């Protein structure tokens, strides 16, 4: 069958690259904007300086229409940042679709967020003038020193680049404004605290992050909430008024399951039942195949069974195993990991079916190279169902959709994101001592500010500023060097195609898994007596759901979602690598592919989970809430708490995981690119893939990378739909293959 080809591949790929380059921007801070009508008394600061007057006088801005301040942070940003901001809208839309929760109920809550605004003309060095109704209880102006003091006390809403002020406009006048926030110590109210309405007692309970547990002690009655709203101390939303609620009554979905999670789960369960549990009774045979028992060098293909498995694993064993498990348990509690394991076991069958189809409908080119995967079987396989012209059109739609999504995902989530996160992990470990010192400075500055010790405050701020400049200067140099080295390493491998990728993966994957598992095993063995009780905790919490507000369903959803990110079963990407395996038996390669989710989710993730439980990292308030650690950073802290130098091993593992993921996803994108645009596009794709590695290492992730990451999950929709339609053919082949296997009809070589 002819491949899908379009003219202008270079234009498409170059456009894609520059779109993804927009990830270098920083998305606008999602802080409450001035249009929200709430106010408070400014906390008393140090002495007021007699600064020169500015054109905005107190009387000129004494109006209760605070919506006149329009946030203008987007002004002056470059084209790439503008592109990134635009993509943020698309990402928001995709999140609403992919993660639309079926069966969710509305949860009402309020947020305590009293603020005051002070403005001055943009570019002025004068004081900030209070913006709002005249009130003798409020400070009328803030000098630069007052603003710095408030910032040191953590009482300002800062801009995205940590400026104390934000850019805005009042009418046509460009201004700079500061947003002062405050707590109410007497009533125990903390700025940005969230209070959730409980249906049991009709009372608002303080939400305890990160799992939205409800506090039994910190509560607000409806009358108290109404009183705070009258004072303008609650965050408001225009959407609330449009929906018939009070402006301060905010809502969010609680419970239910996201569409993409249900879709992946449906595929995994359906395939497992339809294939009669092949993931269980075929497991032993899969091990035999990987060991090379049936490896016939004369068969068609580019890599061995083991190399194909290693290539596919190299794309999935990565940051998801280190960060994903930690995120799942921090948000959903220990029980979330039980559902991750279960999802991994069912996902084995999804991998079996899609990789069998990848082999069955692959195309062998005259030079011996292979073109296979969902973009092939969604086109060729569905065409062969005999649905006529409508079936052909349908097959092309599915195939093209998958190929485009895969290319975008390979540049972002499978490339730039990996380079950025791995570089950041190494950098954080390298600068660990300096970062600790910066945190200590921040603590000391707050103490000096609270004590109104101006002299010590200025000294500490100067020292912190000098150290901060050194840290940032080193970060720039390091990221450039790291990006160049990583890009060179990636280029050396991907230029050689799947043969070189497979050769590298068969050495990298076992090495990095062994390295990581050894580090985990050390911690587990030291605490071996605790393991039985921890396993009991996982199973017990999985069905009680006490670890999070969403109950058992909430825990289940968190576990399934993280497993989907971890092993990518049902996404279809692994079928591209497995289609290149050297075999004439598609079912045999499907058996090999089953081992991917087992190794990725059941083995590697289990080790991470036990380390997180042993160290208590999942429930450490000082780490998760106070320090804001999550994902890989929280895992690293868990390792450090046991052995000080273990984070260096973790950093090395992160680099290896990221590197292997990049080379495998580059191959996936290359195959899809060839399917769409023909062989000539491969050179352009590889050049852009290498360039993306460097860009990803140097710039910060933004909305464009989020968009690319969404593409990975979106690939599941055309893939699972097509695989379900082709599943009867796989089942027929499986029955025939297993009959021949039981009759010893297959030649063995080991």
Give the span between the Cα atoms of 677 and 412, in whole angstroms: 20
Six token digits for residue 329: 């348990």
Mean pLDDT rounded to a whole number for the chain: 77
Neighbours of 36 (CB within 10 A): 19
Q: Taking the mean position of all CA atoms in its chain, how far away is CA 652? A: 20
CA distances, 607 to each of 313, 517, 558, 568, 629 (Å): 17, 7, 19, 19, 20
- What are the tens digits of pLDDT across the range 159-178? 766 677 888 888 788 888 88
The predicted model gives 409-432 an average pLDDT of 82
CA 262, distance to chain mean position in Å, is 19
Please give the model's pTM, rounded to 2 decimal places: 0.78
**For residue range 22-38, what is the model confidence (pLDDT) as tens digits?**
444 333 333 344 444 44
Got the DSSP string for 611-653? Answer: HHHHHTGGG-HIIIIIS---HHHHHHHHHHHH-TTHHHHHHHH
Residue 132: in which H helix or E strand, if any? none
How does pLDDT run across 231-250, given as a tens digit for each residue? 888 888 777 666 667 888 88
Residue 51 binned pLDDT confidence (cut-offs 50, 70, 90): very low
pLDDT score at 739: 92
How confident is the model over 551-558, as a mean pLDDT? 58
Give the mean model confidence (pLDDT) for residues 72-79.
57
DSSP 35-64: TS----PPPP-SPPP-PPP-SS-TTTT--S
Supply the pLDDT for residue 198: 86
Q: Could you tell me the pLDDT band of residue 621, with boundaries at 50, 70 and 90? A: low
């Amino acid at each position: 069958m002819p491949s899908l080809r379009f003219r202008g591949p270079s234009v498409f790929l170059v456009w894609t690259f520059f779109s993804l380059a927009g990830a270098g921007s920083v998305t606008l801070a999602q802080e409450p904007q001035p249009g929200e009508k709430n106010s408070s008394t400014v906390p008393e600061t140090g002495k007021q300086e007699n600064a020169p007057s500015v054109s905005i006088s107190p009387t000129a801005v004494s109006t209760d229409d605070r919506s006149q301040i329009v946030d203008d942070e987007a002004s002056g940003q470059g084209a790439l940042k503008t592109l990134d901001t635009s993509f943020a809208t698309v990402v928001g839309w995709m999140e609403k679709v992919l993660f639309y929760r079926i069966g969710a109920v509305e949860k009402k809550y309020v947020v305590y967020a009293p603020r005051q605004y002070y403005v001055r003309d943009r570019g002025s060095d004068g004081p900030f003038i209070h913006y709002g109704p005249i009130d003798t209880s409020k400070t009328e102006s803030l000098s630069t020193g007052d603003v710095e003091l408030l910032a040191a006390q953590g009482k300002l809403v800062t801009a995205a680049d940590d400026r104390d002020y934000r850019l805005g406009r009042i009418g046509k006048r460009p201004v700079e404004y500061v947003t002062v926030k405050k707590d109410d110590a007497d009533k125990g109210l903390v700025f940005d605290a969230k209070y959730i309405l409980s249906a049991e007692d009709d009372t608002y309970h303080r939400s305890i992050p990160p799992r939205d547990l409800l506090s039994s002690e910190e509560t607000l009655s409806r009358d108290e909430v109404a009183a705070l709203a009258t004072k303008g101390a609650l965050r408001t939303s225009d959407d609330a008024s449009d929906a018939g609620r009070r402006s301060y009554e905010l809502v969010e979905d609680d419970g239910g399951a996201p569409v993409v999670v249900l879709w992946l789960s449906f595929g995994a369960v359906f395939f497992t039942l339809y294939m009669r549990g092949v993931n269980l009774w075929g497991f032993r045979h899969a091990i035999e195949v990987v060991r090379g028992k049936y490896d016939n060098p004369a068969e068609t293909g580019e890599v061995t069974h083991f190399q194909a498995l290693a290539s596919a694993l190299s794309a999935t064993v990565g940051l998801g195993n280190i960060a994903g498990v930690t995120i799942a348990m921090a948000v959903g509690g220990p029980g979330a990991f039980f559902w991750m394991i279960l999802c991994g076991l069912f996902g084995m069958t999804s991998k079996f079916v899609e990789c069998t189809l990848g082999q069955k409908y692959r195309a062998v080119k005259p030079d011996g190279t292979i073109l296979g995967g969902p973009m092939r079987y969604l086109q060729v396989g569905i065409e062969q169902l005999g649905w006529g012209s409508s079936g052909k059109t349908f097959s092309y739609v599915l195939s093209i959709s998958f190929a485009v999504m895969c290319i975008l995902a390979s540049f972002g989530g499978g490339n730039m994101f990996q380079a950025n996160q791995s570089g950041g992990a190494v950098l954080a470990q390298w600068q660990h001592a300096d970062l600790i010192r910066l945190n200590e400075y921040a603590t000391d500055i707050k103490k000096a500010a609270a004590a109104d010790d101006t002299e010590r405050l200025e000294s500490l701020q100067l020292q912190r500023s000098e150290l901060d400049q050194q840290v940032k200067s080193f970060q720039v140099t390091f990221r450039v060097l790291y990006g160049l080295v990583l890009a060179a390493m990636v280029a050396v491998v991907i230029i050689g195609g799947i043969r070189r990728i497979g050769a590298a993966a068969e050495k990298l994957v076992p090495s990095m898994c062994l390295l990581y598992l050894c580090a985990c095993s050390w911690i587990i063995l030291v605490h071996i007596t605790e393991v039985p009780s921890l396993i009991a905790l996982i199973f017990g919490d999985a069905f009680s759901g006490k670890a999070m507000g969403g109950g058992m369903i909430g825990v289940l959803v968190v576990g399934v979602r993280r497993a989907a990110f971890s092993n990518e079963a049902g996404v279809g990407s692994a079928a591209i690598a497995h289609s290149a395996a050297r075999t004439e038996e598609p079912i045999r390669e499907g058996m090999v592919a089953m081992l991917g989710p087992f190794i990725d989710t059941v083995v590697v993730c289990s080790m991470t989970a036990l380390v997180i439980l042993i160290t208590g990292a999942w429930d450490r308030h000082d780490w998760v809430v106070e320090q804001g650690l999550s994902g890989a950073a929280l895992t690293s802290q868990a390792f450090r708490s046991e052995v000080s130098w273990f984070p260096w091993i973790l950093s090395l593992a992160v680099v290896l995981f990221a590197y292997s993921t990049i080379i495998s996803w580059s191959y996936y994108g290359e195959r899809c690119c060839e399917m769409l645009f023909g062989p000539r596009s491969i050179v352009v794709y590889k050049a852009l893939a290498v360039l993306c590695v460097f860009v990803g290492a140097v710039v910060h992730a933004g909305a464009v990378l989020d968009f690319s990451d969404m593409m990975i999950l979106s690939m599941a929709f055309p893939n699972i739909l097509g695989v379900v339609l082709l599943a009867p053919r796989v089942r027929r082949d499986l029955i025939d293959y297993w009959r021949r296997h039981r009759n010893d009809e297959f030649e063995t070589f080991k």
